[in-house]
Amino acid sequence: MVPSAPLVKAPIHMDYGLRVRVAPTAFINRGCTILDTPVADVRVGEHVNIGPNVTIISVGHSKTVDKNSKRTSYGSEVIIGDCAWIGAGAIILPGVEIGCHSIIGAGSLVTKDVPAYHVAVGSPARVVSTVGNEVAAEPKDIILTLEDALGTH
């Protein structure tokens, strides 16, 4: 059975949500903040795991001010590829693409793209290793409901 909606643990904070796309097999843990904008997508792929207190930002501001002393805001899409794992407390900045099967270490500040099948850690995040592309065997007994987990059915 394929889930029809992602598993999202409350609380989650989102500015607009208009262009946030989360695959139905994704998991978002508690305290996730998505600072999105109506002009740029935030896409979370299939089987992505997002740890607690992760921040995803798709809006930024100019370095200079206009004639009214205001900074111009801009939107820049953020893409998290299929099967990526984002560690607790990571921050993903505007314009970043995290490749499929990549891992972002807890507490990392992701300022640049991370290629598929790579591990990035630190502040700013740097690629430190690769991830194998082997596909693990499917578990024989998949628990999909709380009742199944508790054996109360």
Q: Which of 13, 61, 118, 153 is catalytic?
A: 61
pLDDT of residue 135: 63
Q: What is the mean pLDDT of residues 114-135?
A: 92
Distance of alpha carbon 94 from alpha carbon 55, whole angstroms: 11
Q: Are 73 and 56 in contact (CB under 8 A)?
A: no
How does residue 122 score in pLDDT terms, banded at 50, 70 and 90? very high
Q: Take residue 152 and report the two structure tokens written for it.
A: 């109360």
Q: For this structure, is 101 an active site residue?
A: no
For domain 7-150, the CATH superfamily is Hexapeptide repeat proteins (2.160.10.10)
Report which DSSP code applies to 114: B
Q: pLDDT tens digits for 68-105?
A: 999 988 999 999 999 999 999 999 999 999 999 999 99
| Cβ-Cβ contacts under 8 Å for 62 (sequence gap 6 or more) | 71, 72, 73, 74
Q: What is the mean pLDDT of residues 3-8?
A: 91
Predicted TM-score of the model (pTM): 0.85
* Residue in 116, 89, 78, 111 with CA at minimum distance from that of residue 100: 116
Report which DSSP code applies to 9: P
CA distances from 36 to 50, 71, 73, 94 (A): 16, 17, 12, 9
